[in-house]
Amino acid sequence: MKKLLQVSLGIITSIGGFLETGNIATSSQAGAAYGYTPLWAIVLGTICVIFLVEMSGRFAIASHYTIVDGIRDRFGSNIFLLTISIVFVVNLLVLAAEIGGISLALQFLTGVKFPWWSLPVTFMAWLLLWRGTFGLIENGISALGLLALSFVVAVFVMDPPWGEIAKGLLPTLPSKDPLHYSFIVVGILGAVISPYLFYFYSSGALEDEWDKSYFGANRAIAILGMSFGAIITAAVMVSAAMIYPSSGIEDIEGYEQIAMILTPAFGKWGLYLFAISLGITCLGATLEVSLAQAYLVAQGFGWNWSENMKPKENPAFCLVYTACLMIAVIPIVIGVDPLRITIFSMALSALSLPFGVVPFLILMNDPTYVGKHRNGWISNAAVIFIVAMAFVLSIVTTPLEILGG
Amino acid sequence: MYLVRDILDKQVVDRKQARIGKVDGIVLTTENDGRLKISFLEMGHLTLMRRLSPRLYRWLLALSQRARAGRDRCPYRIPWSKITDAGVDIQVDIDDSDTPLEQTQEWLRQHILRRIPGGLS
Amino acid sequence: MGIRELICPFKRIAVVEVLGRPLGKSSMDSTSRHCVGTHPALFDYMRIYEENGVWAGRHEDSAVKLFIIALFLVSLTSCSDGQQQRERKIRDVLSWSATAEMVLDARTKMLVSNSFAILTIERCTKEIGSLSKELPTFPENLAALAGRLNMITGSAHHELINGRTDGLSQHLRDLRSLESELRAKSGAAD
């Protein structure tokens, strides 16, 4: 059945697209510093993102709007400008982090330092979008992103303590340094619940012209795609927990430390597997975030938009993502450490979550848009609780980490 | 039909179903007996700015007038009579080449895209 | 066509509800004066309407600002003490030195490429170097210990660049003993 194929493709795209520099960095940091205990943060973040992704698909199907259209329509241009500006700025930082991820992957493979790779990498990403072929390559990149499953394989190869893992899935408080622990949790939540993810998803649902028969498919893709993606993220944390504390590495401050995470399981292939996984997943994320930025502007101001937009058809749209890429590459090219940018952008992501999510939640409960497909109280409660927690923790811990770290 | 709920900030599409912008403002006129009727839909960044902040609007207005050096231009307005349908999107009987958005796009094509390889293909 | 309109509370609109209200006077912007067919009084009314702010826009702004300031103050109160900072730095030094160990170990077993080992040791050296300047010298001279760690990683770096791996295991042993010394001394110094 054609729909089965579409659902499978959607799931693969979600799995392959789930992992990116934010997840890898925050999970490794968490595993090294606190072992298996922060696993519950991944669980919580995944629950939240499953709800949000399913909602964004349901919104697109039921209302024929994208989320940005809906926000502008329901709240007016002023609130639209406010929320979209915040999301736009945070996305720029995330974009910089992703470009840094690809550049670092190439550094690990070749020995040439990452700032040298930043410009060619950005140029290549730009070219892939400029040629208007994103739809074609999206599936290819996500399929290659499945290489990240090697993290899961590594966990099984290393024979982890399953009892400890099970315990970690339940929320526990840390024994030492609770503020740093909270900051790590914030990073994980910000990495897993990325606003660009579900904004992008609703645009995709609209462009692929999902109709009412896709409600079930939407739910399947959201649940299965996000869950498997979360399993990979959890595998990163478990691997980190197994390798780093016993070797004496408690604080991960650089990607060089993370790069050896697959070496115990895969020997000399470990480094290559890691670098290729990092590079490909970050490339996918780079393309997605750049497009998401262009979507934000185009959908907000009523321009034409498409994932395969050719520059001639809509110069303004294409110049938006061009400008974003040009701005995002600057910190990487001047040599700012990509891990630092990643952690910072994930914390800011968590901080900006209410601005991106609350308007969307209001839309999901408004029958004018979604008719009888409104949210149940569970979805509302779960999302509000998790986003509120992420926001409060982020407000309390981020300034401290910036001033202290 | 409620103006704010059903017209304002909605997507405007032209004859060929291409998106040409959002309804940024609505213009009403008073008739001789003092009643108001809808006369135009207004689209443009200046209108948006005016909704956001009057001060910013005045500043941007001054800037754009200086840029256009004497050519006094109205904000882009679509007569109410041109609307053919108002549902999810507002359909108007206009060709998108008349809109300032398309004119800006054309300017971008001529001045920026031409300099970038592959821009005009 | 008379217009009844529910003003949506969020939208600051360019359109108003009008039912025989008197139109006051205010200035017009010059664009509308030249434009087609709009009644000047209309814009006066719209101006007044926007200024009076039926919706709570203005009050909302200040409430949001207060909220953000309050949150920021809360976050400032969660300040750390010097003790925690110092422990953090020692942990960082130990982590970077353990990283150097890990990469040297992997290099002797030929599990990683030479270029990767070189760049990683370079990073370790740089980080330990900058961190050692911030370590205390009293009561235990932790800064000097970190400096010695740095020298070992530095010479390991040198060897890697020259493509030799024979001396690396000795460097590993030196690193390990220095690390346990640092751990013992920093534990004792608390």
| Per-residue model confidence as pLDDT tens digits over A66-110 | 999 999 988 888 889 999 999 999 999 999 999 999 999 999 999
ipTM metric: 0.90
Touching B (3+ Cβ pairs <8 A), the chains are: A, C
Closest among A190, A174, A218, A228 to A48, alpha carbons compared: A190
Q: Kindly list the residues from chain C whose CB atom is less than 8 angstroms away from the CB atom of residue A250.
A: 91, 94-95
Measure the CA angle with vertex A371, ends A366 and A375; round to 5°.
60
| Per-residue model confidence as pLDDT tens digits over B35-81 | 667 778 888 888 888 777 778 888 888 888 777 654 556 678 888 88
CA distance, residue B15 to nearest chain C CA (Å): 24
The pLDDT of residue A16 is: 79
The pLDDT of residue B36 is: 62
What 8-state DSSP symbol labels residue B80?
G
What 8-state DSSP symbol labels residue B13?
E
B103 interfaces chain A, CB cutoff of 8 Å: no
Distance CA A70, CA C85 (A): 46
B53 interfaces chain C, CB cutoff of 8 Å: no
How many Cβ atoms sit within 10 Å of the Cβ of residue B17? 8
Q: What is the DSSP string of A129-150?
A: HHTT-HHHHHHHHHHHHGGGGH
CB-CB contact of C176 with C128 (8 Å): no
B17 interfaces chain A, CB cutoff of 8 Å: no
| Per-residue model confidence as pLDDT tens digits over A156-212 | 999 899 998 998 898 888 777 788 899 999 999 999 998 888 889 999 999 989 989
Mutate to test the interface with C, among B5, B7, B30 (most CBs of C within 10 A): B30
CA distance, residue B63 to nearest chain A CA (Å): 21
Beta-carbon separation of C102 and A260 below 8 A: yes
Distance CA B121, CA A282 (A): 28
SS3 sequence of chain C: CCCCCCCCCCCCCCCCCCCCCCCCCCCCCHHHHHCCCCCHHHHHHHHHHHHHCCCCHHHHHHHHHHHHHHHHHHHHHCCCCHHHHHHHHHHHHHHHHHHHHHHHHHHHCCCCCHHHHHHHHHHHHHHHHHHHCCCCCCCCCHHHHHHHHHHHHHHHHHHHHCCCCCCHHHHHHHHHHHHHHHHHHHHHHC
- What is the average pLDDT across A35-43? 94
- What is the average pLDDT across C35-62? 39
Nearest-Cα residue of chain A relative to residue C110: A268
A362 interfaces chain C, CB cutoff of 8 Å: no
B83 interfaces chain C, CB cutoff of 8 Å: no
- Considering only CB atoms, B30 lies closest to which of C6, C32, C41, namely C41
pLDDT at A124 over 60: yes
Q: What is the mean pLDDT of chain A?
A: 91
- What is the average pLDDT across C6-19? 36
Q: Kindly list the residues from chain A whose CB atom is less than 8 angstroms away from the CB atom of residue B24.
A: 77
CB-CB contact of A311 with B119 (8 Å): yes
- What is the average pLDDT across A45-64? 94
- Considering only CB atoms, B30 lies closest to which of C15, C36, C39, namely C39
The pLDDT of residue C171 is: 83
Beta-carbon separation of B19 and A78 below 8 A: no
Q: How far is CA B24 from the centre of its chain?
A: 7
Residues 255-294, chain A: which have Cβ within 8 Å of B? none
Nearest-Cα residue of chain B relative to residue C35: B74
pLDDT at A34 over 50: yes
3-state secondary structure of B33: coil
The better pLDDT of the pair A325, B1 is held by A325
Confidence of residue C20 (pLDDT cuts 50, 70, 90): very low
The pLDDT of residue C77 is: 58
CA distance, residue C96 to nearest chain A CA (Å): 7
Mutate to test the interface with A, among C13, C58, C65, C75 (most CBs of A within 10 A): C75
C164 interfaces chain A, CB cutoff of 8 Å: no
CA distance, residue A396 to nearest chain C CA (Å): 4
Beta-carbon separation of B9 and A78 below 8 A: no
Beta-carbon separation of C110 and A268 below 8 A: yes
Nearest-Cα residue of chain C relative to residue B73: C31
Query: How much of chain A exceeds pLDDT 90, in percent?
Result: 70
| Per-residue model confidence as pLDDT tens digits over A251-296 | 999 999 999 999 999 999 999 999 999 999 999 999 999 999 999 9
Least confident of A102-111, A372-381, B31-40, C142-151: B31-40
Token pair, residue B96, equals 């998108």
Nearest-Cα residue of chain C relative to residue B3: C5
Confidence of residue A337 (pLDDT cuts 50, 70, 90): very high
CA distance, residue B62 to nearest chain A CA (Å): 21
Beta-carbon separation of A111 and C113 below 8 A: yes
* Strand ranges of the sheet holding B36-43, from the earlier edge strand across to the other edge: B25-30, B36-43, B76-79
